[in-house]
Amino acid sequence: MSTAIASISRLETLKENIAGIDERLGILHPRLRSLREEVAKLIEKENRHIRLFAEADHQEKQKIDQLLVEIVEQRASHERECKGLSIAIAELEETRNRIYPELQTLLEAEQRSERRMRIEELRRQHQRDQEAEQAADRALGEARATTTKSYFAWRSAKEQEALDAQAAALDKQKQVWAQHTGPNARTHVR
């Protein structure tokens, strides 16, 4: 249990670390791209000024030289920043590449655990459904038995009623026959 909690804690820590690294990389990569574009523009500008320097007279050469010094300083500053960003990006990517396999392993373990729990929950649900089905089958069997019993009781009652009516009709017929036949018979003259 404590191992599972430690794994979850470690997993959350790794997720946060990866998210932090990805966030920082998301900021650094565009900045590096932008600086590289700026360095390329400065190199172009420097080359243009070098051509102009070659064709300029003494007074213009001093102005162009001053501009070239500023461009070179600015380019050097940007190149240093590019180098620093490249190092920072490389270190972050190295850290990410170092911890990602552990994160991947923990994520896979978590997925397996979730899958096992889901399968177990489905098994329990199936068991509950089977028990409910068996209870319904028992209730249906009991209801059928009760229905059959009540049907036979009803049919017996109806048959007894018919037999009683038949017996009553027979008794009445016997009385009628008894009046017309035997010693008490009335004679009918026609």
The residues spanned by each domain of the chain are: 2-144
pTM of the predicted protein model: 0.56
- Digit-coded pLDDT (tens) for 103-134: 899 889 889 999 999 999 999 999 999 999 99
Confidence of residue 185 (pLDDT cuts 50, 70, 90): low
- Digit-coded pLDDT (tens) for 53-106: 888 888 888 888 899 899 999 999 999 999 999 999 999 999 999 999 988 998
> Residue 4: in which H helix or E strand, if any?
helix 2-55
Cα–Cα distance, 34 to 127 (Å, whole number): 62
What CATH architecture does domain 2-144 belong to? Orthogonal Bundle (1.10)
Cα–Cα distance, 12 to 5 (Å, whole number): 11
User: What proportion of the chain, given as a percentage, has pLDDT over 90?
Assistant: 68
